[in-house]
Amino acid sequence: MEVQIAVAKVNKYATSESGDTLEVVERPNGGLSVVLADGQTSGRGAKAISLAVVRKVIGLLAEGVRDGAAARAASDALFTDRQGKVISTLNIASVDLSSRTIVLTRNNPAPIFICRGEEIDCLDQESIPLGTSLNIRPVITEIGIEPGLVIVIYTDGVIHAGKRRGLPMDVAATLRSILEDQDPGPQTLADILLAQAVSLDENRPADDISVLVLKVTSRVGDNVRRMSVRLPIEGFGK
């Protein structure tokens, strides 16, 4: 089997810093974790918050702290630092090779979609962001790693997309239409969802938008781990 992870990420229109921070780290007992935080507001202040949350979580995961405990610690630290005045959403998606599961940790009102074939489940239990009070509880979902599994996670930029025109995005419907027709790779899926959100915002995103897609395939390959990053650079030569 192979776990494939893809991310597509765009800044709020006319801002150079994204309030969304995403990082991938290796887990000390095998596997990896993707950590995605969205700091309140946008621009430089939001970036500092989401970076601090992601660093805190990554540092704890690296020490072998469990995902839920890392999320709680990051929340308490943010609350203590900012007295509840600043909040941040957090999603952790871990491929845990010791438990052989995918562990999803969510402190984010935005739902997570779990797809198996054409069956699409929406994880939308109430979930509040980090930093609102002490002892915030993350919503944790653990799923066996099996071929065909597709998991879709996003920040609230997707939820806000199109809202100023009264045309919010129906993520479930979009997912259904894509998954019915094709067996898309995770990057294609992330790109399509992001492109739709940006298009609903008339190509001027009202917020930072990040889409994370995790897919398990039955591919039997060469045991090579691969990673690629593409970073567009604006305004060069001006």
Write out the residues near its own copies by the rule CB under 8 A: 1-11, 16-17, 21-26, 28, 30-32, 34, 47-48, 51, 55, 58-59, 62, 95, 97, 100, 145, 186-187, 190-191, 194, 219, 221-234, 236
State the Cα–Cα distance between residues 160 and 19, nearest whole angstrom: 15
Please report how close the Cβ of residue 95 comes to its own copies at its closest, in angstroms.
6
Please report how close the Cβ of residue 51 comes to its own copies at its closest, in angstroms.
7
Q: Of 179 and 193, which has the nearer Cβ to its own copies? A: 193
DSSP three-state, residue 113: strand
Please report how close the Cβ of residue 105 comes to its own copies at its closest, in angstroms.
18
DSSP three-state, residue 180: helix
Cβ contact 89:108 at 8 Å: yes
Do β-strands 88-96 and 101-107 pair in parallel, antiparallel, or remain unpaired?
antiparallel
Q: Of 17 and 202, which has the nearer Cβ to its own copies? A: 17
Please report how close the Cβ of residue 34 comes to its own copies at its closest, in angstroms.
8
Give how far Cα 225 sits from Cα of 2, 31, 98, 100, 107, Å. 9, 11, 18, 18, 29
Q: Of 137 and 219, which has the nearer Cβ to its own copies? A: 219
Q: Of 139 and 213, which has the nearer Cβ to its own copies? A: 213
State the Cα–Cα distance between residues 207 and 225, nearest whole angstrom: 33
Q: Of 58 and 110, which has the nearer Cβ to its own copies? A: 58
DSSP three-state, residue 30: coil
Please report how close the Cβ of residue 54 comes to its own copies at its closest, in angstroms.
9
Please report how close the Cβ of residue 222 comes to its own copies at its closest, in angstroms.
7
Please report how close the Cβ of residue 129 comes to its own copies at its closest, in angstroms.
20
Burial of 79 (0-12, 13-18, 19+ CB in 10 A): buried
Half-sphere exposure of 24 (CA within 13 A, CB side): 13
Q: Of 59 and 128, which has the nearer Cβ to its own copies? A: 59
Give how far Cα 179 sits from Cα of 119, 120, 182, Å. 9, 9, 5
State the Cα–Cα distance between residues 161 and 203, nearest whole angstrom: 10
Q: Of 33 and 127, which has the nearer Cβ to its own copies? A: 33
How many angstroms from the chain centroid is the CA of residue 233?
Answer: 22
